[in-house]
Structure formats: structure tokens, C-alpha cells
Structure 1
Amino acid sequence: MLTMALLVGCGGTTTAPASGGAAAAGPVALVTPTAAESEYNSPCPTGGNAKKFAKTRFALHAGLALGAFHRYIYKPLRSGGFRAGAEKRKRTIAKAAIAGAFALHQLKVAKSFATANPSLCRALEGVNSQFSALTDKLHKGTATPADIEAGKSSMTGLQRDAAKTGYKFKEQNVNIPGAS
């Protein structure tokens, strides 16, 4: 239930009907994507900044994605939390999958603000696809250290590209509810 709530809160495409403040049992209703969600999948534009505080908002969301990745995926990998027989391995994998979904959502939101700079937008697309694949592997429990390292290098590359274009961002502290 917590995973469903987190995924819905992080931009999932399904919702569970609720009555009286509690979740009701029954089928899950499919929600059609809004204009903002379809913007995530649109091609990178060729010009202009049409959003207020786009640079600041991009830095915030990209920093949150980096923080979630670093704290819940990269650090546990380095300490051996994903190895067979590791203490609390299933919990670590579950937290990594949730953090991966959160990071992916934050990257999608950051992309909506990166449209002011086409080269930054293209760099973000590569990281987005990398994280989508990584989140799927974490969810299935098939992620390898090489996959995690590829995700780390993608984020480092995004930071470098963003700094070159004036959109510097740094890692933000992230606490994912139920995953601390």
C-alpha cells in the first residue's frame, strides 16, 4: 500500500478511489496523462525560456534526483547492501526501487524546466532513459554494480553539462517516507 501511495504521489498513472479518508478496496482507475505529463515525453525545443524561475526549479528537482540516487542506490551498492546474504537486503532493494522511481519522476520534472536550454534538455533525456532502465532492474532485483555505476556516471555527466550551460546544481538531502 505504501509503495502504491508513493508511486501515485510521484507521478504514477493510477489512483485508488478513497472514501472517508481511507482507501477503499476495489479496482484501480486509470487516469489519462495531463498536459504536464505529456510534456515530459515531448521533444526538446529549439529556443526560449517560457517558465518563471526555470533555472532554480531545474536545480531543485535535479538535485533531489541526485540525492535520492546517491543515498538509496549508490551508497548501499558501495557498502554491499545489494549482495546476496547481506543484512536487510530485501529492504535495501525495495528502498532502492522506490528511490529510483522518485529520482525518475524528479528528472522528468527537471526536464520540464530544462526546456530553456536545448543542449541541457538533450543531456537530461539520456539520464532519464538510464534511470528508467535502472529502476526496472532494481524493481526486479536484477541490477548489477555496472548498472548502478552507469547511473552514477549519467548523473555526473548531467551535472557537468548543466554547469557548462549555467544550470549548476548539487545533491539535495532526500527522505523518502517509509524508506528511512
Structure 2
Amino acid sequence: MKKLMLVLVILLAPALIATGCKSSSDSASSSTAPSASATASSSDGADCPTSNTTSFAKTKFVLHSGLAFGAFHRYLYKPYRAGTFSKGADGRVTAFVKGGVAALFIKREVRLASEDVKANPTLCKAIAAPLAKIGDTVQDAFDKVKGGDASGVDSVNSAISSITSSSSKNGVDIKEDDNPNIGG
């Protein structure tokens, strides 16, 4: 019974943390939005600036996307490939706890990377739409893994590869952080 309570507390902690972070994201996104007078539309209908609207937008994009993509590969993709999420696997509960925290971390970093992409005209036109979809796709993939369906993990990996390739073609190489600190 004590173990069950401990597992429930561990699994609920990320949800509580995510709830607390939501209000700050709303105010952050409004302060970094590009001005309406200096925008053009990207292929997905989003407004893209005609010049940089944030200092070091590419650098911040590389940082946030590298952290997000590195966390995905370390805490979701590699355990999935190793079979750690399968029923009866050693370390399954730990993998799910780390995966849940990582999914929240990834969503946050992708949101921050998306804001930086929208502040740079080249990146905005090239990868704003696919990058914005990754945050929700990661959460959906993790939810599917909990139910035994791992198909979403491969689709997220494909989306990340596509964004990395597109970003590289536009002169911005993303270096994944193999050891992201998802706890702090």
C-alpha cells in the first residue's frame, strides 16, 4: 500500500508542476510576440517577422531545441528502443516517472524554442509549424506508451529529425544535449 501511494505521489508531481507553470507561459508568449507592422506569413499562416525581433533568437532556439531533443532521446526514445516501457521490464516504473517529467520538460523547451523561431524570419518560415506540433506530439506519444502503444515515439523521432534537417539547411545546426537537467 505504501508503494502504491509513493508511485501515485511521484506520478502526480509532474502534473502539479505543469499546472503551476501554465500561467507564466501565457505572459511570456505575449511579451515576445513580433510586432504586427513587421510581419509576413509563413506556410502555416503564422505571422513571421521581416527582421529579427529578439536578440540572439537563433542561439536561443539552438539551446532550447537541443535540450528538448536531447531529453526526448535520452528519456523516451532510448528506453522505448531498449524495451524498458514494456510490461515486466526492469526499471519500468522509473522509466515512466522519468519519461513523464521529460515530456513536461520537452513541451516547455519546445514552446520556448517556438517563440525564438517566430522571432527570426528565416527560421519562422522554415520550421515554425512543425516545431509547434512537437510539444503536443510528445505528450501524446508518452500517453500512448503508458497504454502499451509505442507508435507515437517513432513519429516524434521522425519529426525531430525533420526539424533538425530543415534547421541545418537554413544554416542553424542543432546540437542535442545528451545530459539535460530535466529536474530543475
> With structure 2 as the length reference, what TM-score do the two structures score?
0.72
**Paired residues, number:** 162
Alignment correspondent of 1:168 = 173
Runs of at least 5 residues in structure 2 that lack an aligned partner in the other structure: 1-8, 35-45
Q: Would the aligned equivalents of 1:57 and 1:110 in 2 still touch at CA under 8 Å?
A: yes
2:71 pairs with one of 68, 71, 83: 68
1:114 to 2:120 alignment: no
- RMSD (Å), alpha carbons: 3.1
Q: Percent identity?
A: 28
> Alpha-carbon deviation of 1:157?
0.6
Q: Would the aligned equivalents of 2:140 and 2:152 in 1 still touch at CA under 8 Å?
A: no
Single out whichever of 62-71 and 144-153 deviates more from structure 2: 144-153
Alignment correspondent of 1:138 = 142
Name the CA shift for 1:105/1:122 in 2 (closer, same or farther; >3 Å): farther
Equivalent residue runs for 1:53-92 within 5 Å = 53-92=56-95
Q: Would the aligned equivalents of 2:141 and 2:156 in 1 still touch at CA under 8 Å?
A: no
> Alpha-carbon deviation of 1:129?
2.1
Alignment correspondent of 1:36 = 28
Single out whichever of 130-139 and 101-110 deviates more from structure 2: 130-139
Equivalent residue runs for 1:153-164 within 5 Å = 153-164=158-169
> Alpha-carbon deviation of 1:118?
5.3
> Alpha-carbon deviation of 1:8?
6.7
3-state SS of 2:48 partner? coil
Runs of at least 5 residues in structure 1 that lack an aligned partner in the other structure: 16-29
Single out whichever of 79-88 and 141-150 deviates more from structure 2: 141-150
> Alpha-carbon deviation of 1:176?
2.2
